[in-house]
Structure 1
């Protein structure tokens, strides 16, 4: 559908647009302007128009954007029209919380398998999701044709597990560990560092609050 790569910053904003358009459609909203989108998603309207321009003419001057058509377009761009199975590796406190999270409520994503080294987790079911022993990970990922994984293992195990995931054919890793993983060029890694985000938030509070201006 898209013949050229778009900037990564734009790609990161597409799910934000998609989610809000879903809300608008549920509210029977037929059209929306870039200004209205801007106020709702906290992205300036010029950036929204530039983001949309990468995909051609999605709206009409003086009319705005047709919500249903725009949502359908982004649904295709984000591959929301087909179910995507995801695996979780590491069923600790964070992993367990993610297993309980209802990913598929507003998306086409579902966690269909989990893996852990702890014997007490092996061959059990948590939140409706089967948990397999770690030694079955490579086989199960291949058999279930899963190429996206959420990684929540301890940091000292992260790279070793990542190497196994690459061997199993995984192409995308959502990395919740503090380790910056080494992967081949054809494997995408998205790092979610909660400690870093909190530290950044605290810095912003201390240095960018109204009292410090």
Structure 2
């Protein structure tokens, strides 16, 4: 887990990208890699990579580059990859069902262990290996299964009420796929994923390039 609060958010977001590529290199038997090679692979300029790595001290050697296995293991520990994190999915609609099919297990540290929904036709079933519980069981199951993180894919008008319940259940982080902007205690981290906003931003940049 990232414990150094002085690491910029942009750097923290790039760490999983670096880690995934280092795993690929390690599985391929590569022993060392330069910042230039990393740059070409992950599409982040080498100066940014060196700056990102500098927040963690001397990770490489001048003239040698980075030891792939050592760097991979370092980031695995930094990203808490050696600890299984149980995740709850709240809202098993179209998006929620798609997320259940997503192979979170490829990270080796993330497992969606429970899902919750208000639809009685869904509750009591197992979807893609994940049991779906009634909303009335949410607080109890989160406590029993020691779930730390929740993914929220419910209609916006219900989001805040559910967040209040999640906080009461002890949830520490929420990945919010709803358009609602949620409030929670400072001890609970909320990350918003606004697909419409991201798409509109992409369209804006696309049209800006076409106009050049």
Settle same-fold status: TM greater than 0.5.
yes
Q: Distance in 2 between matches of 1:195 and 1:2?
A: 32
Question: 1:38-117 to 2 correspondence within 5 Å?
Answer: 38-117=39-118
Does structure 2 retain, via aligned residues, the 8 Å contact 1:171–1:187? yes
Question: What's 1:156 paired with?
Answer: 157
Work out the CA distance in 2 between the residues paired with 1:17 and 1:107: 15
In the alignment of these two chains, the number of paired residues is 211
Contact 2:85 2:148 in 1 (8 A): no
* CA deviation after TM superposition for structure 1 residue 84, in Å: 1.1
Q: Where does residue 211 of structure 2 map in the other structure? A: 212
* Aligned 1:123-162 pairs, distance under 5 A: 123-162=124-163
Question: Would you identify which runs of 4 or more consecutive aligned residues in structure 1 move more than 6 Å?
Answer: none
Consecutive unaligned residues of structure 2, counting only runs of 5 or more, are none
Determine the C-alpha separation between the residues in 1 that align with 2:92 and 2:65. Answer: 46
Q: CA deviation at 1:172?
A: 0.4
How far has the Cα of 1:212 moved from its partner?
2.5
Counterpart Cα distance in 1 of 2:14 and 2:193: 16
**CA apart distance, 1:64:** 0.3
Aligned partners of 2:174 and 2:190 also within 8 Å? yes
Q: Secondary structure at the match of 1:88?
A: strand
Give secondary structure in 2 for the equivalent of 1:177: coil
Aligned 8 A contact 1:113 1:131 in 2: yes
How far the C-alpha of 1:4 sits from its partner, in A, is 5.1
Offset of residue 127 of structure 1 = 0.6
Q: Which residue of 1 aligns with 2:26?
A: 25
| Partner secondary structure for residue 22 of structure 1 | helix
RMSD: 1.2
Determine the C-alpha separation between the residues in 1 that align with 2:27 and 2:75. 16
- Return the offset for 1:5: 2.9
- Aligned equivalents of 1:3, 1:103: Cα separation in 2: 25
